[in-house]
Chains A and B, each alone.
Chain A
């Protein structure tokens, strides 16, 4: 599983593995991102991991391309066999009030998946998810892999505003909107937990490699937790 290094314009390199949503590939990507960041090469502005590729952003006038390539090659070698426990992130329990006003697409998902609303909730909350990457919005975690039975294409028409805390599903992924934003995922519930807080260090509650469990809660518990969070 040797990655490919391609230019992403003149100010970034993309180090790509096989384009799959896969735990082993994603673990390699995050180990590689940490190894590159640790090299502290002058001129590197940002190291950004995705599902199956990692981008190295640099200032082209402050970076020697040969040493950058050498640093990336060395990081690839160093991170090729991550220690067995190096990829174990922390586990976060995320309370979710499913359905009702908080999960307007739950009935649609239940119809399309051909199972009851209760079973959709059970399947969604019945497993652990890996944080594959953070992207789209500050602190938005891409979680997966989602139960195949619940995998649906995105909504035909994206909503112009999805409220903060909304839990959505799309394909084999599930995610949590950290702020109000437009969005095309099917919204099945909402959490009172704040996932992105600029006054916290780090501001994002979740990091790639972390695990997430969804805990179903009822509306009154949501309201009490929401009141505390405010």
Chain B
């Protein structure tokens, strides 16, 4: 018994909360681009918030259920149909044996998360079920889903009570979107950070789960000497010439370019909802504000859990 992937969609992969603890071996963390919506989908399905769910990009899949399951969908605004009945995100649906779940039009945001009660059951690799597309391991044999794949939902179904309250809305891109950034360790005398927070950028087509290329105003190169070192998701790298790089969920563990700023954790989910062509600006932010913003976002999920 399982869930048949009738159509896989544009780029659908299995993601849990990421592969932490093995970066010293060069293994990327991976995990969801919008970790907040990933957790919300799991909470709505009655799962542990770190359970493996589907990350759906731009064009959603079509799934056929061989057994009854609760399904939750959160993140980007999609509409779709379950056996002909229309749903919109965020949605909690009861699929029956034989049900067909179809994704339709997307109106806002780029990535949605689909959780089934019990999570998706794939082998853990280095402690995680997250798909690392570039390294080629984790999730469904280290790759995006394909038409005809068969997914297995975790035995025993949901581990928690499904929340009774209405889910909080996700942060989705405006035009432009504003992301809060803290100064990076290599911002030099502040000139580079000032330039970064003045300019407007566009997400280039050559962007993926590893990172975004940002077209826009030239930022002065960082003069300080630099040797390759550890990096984080949200880091904005300044290569000697050309576009800035915003590192995302499947970033490398170490990088070879100076880091001018780092997007705060509370705004990374919004960054994960940006599509190629979307415009983005960066707003300076201090540590205290970054942590308060994170607590506020966390409380929305905790309140839902308690409701």
Chain A residues with Cβ under 8 A from B23's Cβ?
46, 48, 57
Residue of A nearest to B285 (CB): A10
User: Could you list 17 further interchain pairs (A-B, Cβ under 8 angstroms) beyond the known A10-B290, A57-B23, A204-B25?
Assistant: A6-B185, A14-B229, A19-B224, A33-B24, A50-B229, A55-B229, A55-B230, A60-B265, A60-B294, A61-B294, A61-B295, A133-B228, A136-B253, A137-B26, A202-B25, A203-B25, A203-B126
Complex Cα distance, B126 from A33, in Å, reads: 20
Q: Does B125 lie at the interface of the complex (its beta carbon under 8 Å from any beta carbon of A)?
A: yes
Q: Which residues of A come within 8 Å of B, CB atoms? A: 6-12, 14, 16, 19-21, 33, 45-55, 57, 60-61, 133-140, 142, 179, 181, 196, 198, 202-204, 208
Chain B interface residue count, Cβ-Cβ cutoff 8 angstroms: 44
Min CB distance B158 to A, Å, is 24
- Helix, strand, loop or mixed for chain B's interface? loop
Chain B residues with Cβ under 8 A from A135's Cβ?
26, 228, 230, 252-254
Chain B residues with Cβ under 8 A from A9's Cβ?
182, 232, 234-235, 262-265, 290
Mask, B258-290, CB within 8 Å of A = 1, is 010011110000000000000000000001001
Min CB distance B179 to A, Å, is 12
A16: contacting residue among B21, B229, B254, CB under 8 A: B229
B185: contacting residue among A8, A11, A60, A136, CB under 8 A: A8
Contact A21 B26 (CB under 8 A): no
Complex Cα distance, B185 from A7, in Å, reads: 7
Q: Which residues of B come within 8 Å of A, CB atoms? A: 20-29, 125-126, 134-137, 182, 184-185, 224-232, 234-235, 252-254, 259, 262-265, 287, 290-291, 294-295, 298
Given A51-B227, A61-B298: A139 touches B232 (CB 8 Å cut-off): no
A60: contacting residue among B20, B226, B235, B291, CB under 8 A: B291
Chain B residues with Cβ under 8 A from A45's Cβ?
20-21
Contact B184 A8 (CB under 8 A): yes
Q: 3 closest Cβ contacts across the A-B interface? A: A135-B254, A9-B262, A55-B230
Contact B225 A19 (CB under 8 A): yes
Given A19-B226, A53-B230: A7 touches B182 (CB 8 Å cut-off): yes
Residue of B nearest to A18 (CB): B225
Min CB distance B225 to A, Å, is 5
Given A8-B232, A8-B235, A48-B230: A136 touches B21 (CB 8 Å cut-off): no
